[in-house]
Structure 1
Amino acid sequence: MSATSSRPDAPRSLRDTTLALGRLLVPLGALLSLWPGVSTAVALVAGMLVALSVGNPHAALTRRATHLLLSLSVVGLGAGMDLRVVAEEGARGFLYTVVGITACLALGALLARWLRVSRGAGLLISIGTAICGGSAIAAVVPVLRPREEDVSIALGTVFLLNAVALFVFPVVGHAVGLDARQFGLWSALAIHDTSSVVGAAMRYGPQALEVATTVKLARALWIVPLTVSLGFWLRRTGQASTQGQGPARRPWFILGFLAMAALVTWVPSLRPAGQMVTHVSQRVLVLTLFLIGAGFSRQALRSVGLKPLAQGITLWLCMASLSLGAILLHVIS
């Protein structure tokens, strides 16, 4: 009788233990990720392992903190950069940014139709690949009004590919002989999220980080015209929804990045302090990657179907290969 009555308590006891471990491991991992010896890749994987093994009881808090910390870390990185270089990189990359985004959206639409991926998920995956991953997806959701399932599929697909890119890109870059500038440019063009772009570039060196951050942020600005264009197109075709899902997120942190770069450029005496701010921001970015990993879940992993994942992988490989080939052939420089 006692053995039988104890059975219902066993799962509850296990859940309580798992919950307690999650409450402990998430803040402990976040604290340890600030230690200088922890790399971006290690932080991301550690966060994923915690989330998938014991879960994240602080998911709502870490989700909010992720957006804030990523914005602050990107702004802080501007304190270590010269605004003249930032402006030069942004102007230089305008043409291939436009061509790259257009080609990615067109190829993504073809792949989604060929693989019979749902319209919403296919478009979100294409937009996330073309501009800046989860940030671009979050920005267009209030305009497109897709199903929650489509949003989960797109975000899960982008997250998986971001995690892979953080490890694979530096290895490929060294294998094909990319210098720091070339790698920074390639990572900005071919990796989805800003966090993973900066994380991969940090592993390649300071110059790669400067180029990658500048080009990626210039690319992220295209969220705004894309969102406006989608809204206009939906209204013209009569597909606009009146259901509210909140305002689109605007990449205002880019203005902060430019302001910090301008400050240290025009006031040279602030450059030593700017370098300190940049160093702190790099550690905050590592913390952010841990929290991004901790925000993953088994439900998100299950939501990624084979067809959307096939679309995301194929589109990503095509765009990464094309941009790498263009860099190696000096079509893009």
Structure 2
Amino acid sequence: MKKYTAGLLICLAISIPAWFLGRLFPVVGGPVCAILIGMAIAPFIKGKERFRPGIAFTSKKILQYAVVLLGFGMNLSVVLEKGRQSLPIILATITTSILIAVLLFRLLKIPTKSAILIGVGSSICGGSAIAATAPVIEADDEEIAQSISVIFLFNIAAALIFPALGAALGLSNEGFGLFAGTAINDTSSVTAAAAAWDGIYGSNTLEAAAIVKLTRTLAIIPITLFLAFYRTKKEQSGSGNTFQIAKIFPFFVLFFLLASVLTTVFHLPATVTGPLKDLSKFFIIMAMAAIGTNTNLVTLVKTGMKPILLGLCCWIGISLVSLSMQSFLGIW
């Protein structure tokens, strides 16, 4: 661990203020704050070789540990029982986002890994889905930072716009909970939008929206497994040699599932799962701090327009499909 210490400490030093800034500005969130701080201080870090092993460990392994700990916030019986009404809408929005990502990836010639991360992040659960997917497809730090930044942009837009949009469309409290839970990417932004709606109408949609969001999070499992098998098949056909699935299999996703099963079977109380969920969020912030220090801001800006357009199209597509499915199912 000695070679990792310096890099871990610098990521920790960035993460602590980023954590508090994320609590202060929940719509922005700690991960985005960590990326921004990391990018800001990167030019001033001297002797980067000394920090490189710890930063790499944080951006890869700590990120995977964060996904595992995320599972302790998933009581599968509660999520499936209360979230089953939203399943058709969730499946429709995930399919829509992935189809849009595939189509625009070809039309706009967006780098493959960036398109995957933005498509998955838009359709499932923002930063958590990107955290789970990035190691499977071996995305580099700039691709991860770019996709997180795109997701963040539309999270803020949704949190600000959706309460007024829901009112203009005449959505019921139940309808807005489903809309927020299926069409907003990140948990903090879902919470912000639902809390704003509750504050205006004196309703209790926050819990319903959060459960829908947790139900979406379960899609991390099939998506990451599919990407692992797809990559294995592609590697085999490209090299002509046998490529072992074990080399890239996302075992951390199985541990995420195991954590969810343990929480469900043993009915782990909030006093146990709460700190583990907070640690998961902090680990994601640490990983984003590491990614920020390895990200070139100039490159990020120069290559940003096409990914932003992809994120916008995924966001609009998901929103329209969510509302259309509600209307079709008579929930509106």
**TM superposition score category, shorter chain reference:** 0.5 to 0.7
Percent of aligned pairs sharing the same letter: 16
Residue 226 (structure 2) aligns with = 226
Distance (Å, rounded) in 2 between the aligned partners of 1:36 and 1:299: 20
CA RMSD of aligned residues (A): 4.1
**Secondary structure in structure 1 of the residue aligned to 2:266:** helix
Q: Are the aligned partners of 1:89 and 1:215 in contact in 2 as well (CA < 8 Å)?
A: no
Q: Does 1:170 align with 2:154?
A: no
Q: Does 1:86 align with 2:79?
A: yes
Residues 92-121 of structure 1 show CA distances to partners (whole Å, capped at 9, x for unaligned) of 444444433433333222212222335565
The verdict on how the C-alpha distance between 1:262 and 1:239 changes in structure 2, with shifts beyond 3 A counting, is same
1:259 equivalent among 259, 262, 287 = 262
Distance (Å, rounded) in 1 between the aligned partners of 2:316 and 2:20: 35
Distance (Å, rounded) in 1 between the aligned partners of 2:64 and 2:136: 13
**Secondary structure in structure 1 of the residue aligned to 2:189:** helix
Q: CA deviation at 1:216?
A: 1.8
Residues 53-76 of structure 1 show CA distances to partners (whole Å, capped at 9, x for unaligned) of 21385523432323313421x233
Q: CA deviation at 1:328?
A: 6.0
Q: Are the aligned partners of 2:225 and 2:250 in contact in 1 as well (CA < 8 Å)?
A: no
Residue 102 (structure 1) aligns with = 95
Amino acid at match of 1:248: F
Residues 191-249 of structure 1 show CA distances to partners (whole Å, capped at 9, x for unaligned) of 55xxxx333344444443333113322x212225523662586489x446757794131
1:159 equivalent among 134, 140, 148 = 148
Residue 144 (structure 1) aligns with = none
Residues 264-322 of structure 1 show CA distances to partners (whole Å, capped at 9, x for unaligned) of 2xxxxx6xxx1223432453344235324413246354444146424532332333332
Mean Cα deviation higher: 154-163 or 116-125: 116-125
Q: Are the aligned partners of 1:86 and 1:214 in contact in 2 as well (CA < 8 Å)?
A: yes
Q: Are the aligned partners of 2:114 and 2:144 in contact in 1 as well (CA < 8 Å)?
A: no
Distance (Å, rounded) in 1 between the aligned partners of 2:318 and 2:79: 23
1:309 equivalent among 307, 310, 331 = 307
Q: TM-score, normalised by structure 2?
A: 0.66
Larger helix fraction of residues: 2
**Secondary structure in structure 2 of the residue aligned to 1:162:** helix
Distance (Å, rounded) in 2 between the aligned partners of 1:135 and 1:332: 34
Q: Are the aligned partners of 2:145 and 2:295 in contact in 1 as well (CA < 8 Å)?
A: no
Amino acid at match of 2:258: L
Residue 69 (structure 1) aligns with = 66
Unaligned 5+ runs, structure 2? 1-5, 46-50, 196-205
Residue 280 (structure 1) aligns with = 275
Residue 203 (structure 2) aligns with = none
Instruction: Kindly report which structure 2 residues correspond to 1:238-249, keeping only aligned pairs within 5 A, or say none.
Output: 238-239=237-238, 242=241, 246-249=247-250
Distance (Å, rounded) in 2 between the aligned partners of 1:332 and 1:25: 52
1:52 equivalent among 5, 28, 39 = 39
Q: Does 1:296 align with 2:305?
A: no
Residue 114 (structure 1) aligns with = 107
Q: Are the aligned partners of 1:75 and 1:256 in contact in 2 as well (CA < 8 Å)?
A: yes
Distance (Å, rounded) in 2 between the aligned partners of 1:114 and 1:37: 39
Q: Are the aligned partners of 2:150 and 2:307 in contact in 1 as well (CA < 8 Å)?
A: no
Instruction: Kindly report which structure 2 residues correspond to 1:3-82, keeping only aligned pairs within 5 A, or say none.
Output: 26-31=11-16, 33=19, 38=24, 40=26, 41-55=28-42, 57=51, 58-63=54-59, 64-72=61-69, 74-78=70-74, 81=75
The verdict on how the C-alpha distance between 1:53 and 1:224 changes in structure 2, with shifts beyond 3 A counting, is closer
Q: Are the aligned partners of 1:162 and 1:191 in contact in 2 as well (CA < 8 Å)?
A: no
Amino acid at match of 2:99: A
**Secondary structure in structure 1 of the residue aligned to 2:295:** helix
Q: CA deviation at 1:260?
A: 0.5
Q: Are the aligned partners of 1:156 and 1:301 in contact in 2 as well (CA < 8 Å)?
A: no
Larger-Rg structure: 1
Amino acid at match of 1:220: I
**Secondary structure in structure 2 of the residue aligned to 1:312:** helix
Unaligned 5+ runs, structure 1? 1-19, 142-147, 265-269
Distance (Å, rounded) in 2 between the aligned partners of 1:65 and 1:200: 24
Amino acid at match of 1:260: T
Residue 210 (structure 1) aligns with = 211
